[in-house]
Amino acid sequence: MKISEAKMARLVELASRSRPVVDDAEYERRLSICSDCPGLQYGTTCRYCGCLVQVRAKLVESTCPFPYEPRWT
């Protein structure tokens, strides 16, 4: 299922309301890494954890779930 950009933005906003978020530069860096990852499915979903990468990338406490060697280091 494809998620609209507006709905994705709303999900990111909701997830980040009560949790610390990374700055815009770090968010874009993380998304760039995810976009080149073989585990990205449908342009939105991480194959390794099932999360929406736009939400995961925004949250400070999140880490990359890539097996054996996280890619956001």
Q: Is the pLDDT of residue 51 over 90?
A: yes
Question: What is the average pLDDT across 38-59?
Answer: 95
What is the reported pTM?
0.88
DSSP-assigned beta bridge partners for residue 41 = 45
The pLDDT, as a whole number, for residue 38 is 95
**Mean pLDDT over each residue of the chain, to the nearest integer:** 94
- Please give the Cα distance from 31 to 26 (Å, whole number): 9
- Please give the Cα distance from 61 to 42 (Å, whole number): 24
Question: What is the average pLDDT across 40-48?
Answer: 95
pLDDT band (50, 70, 90) for residue 2: confident
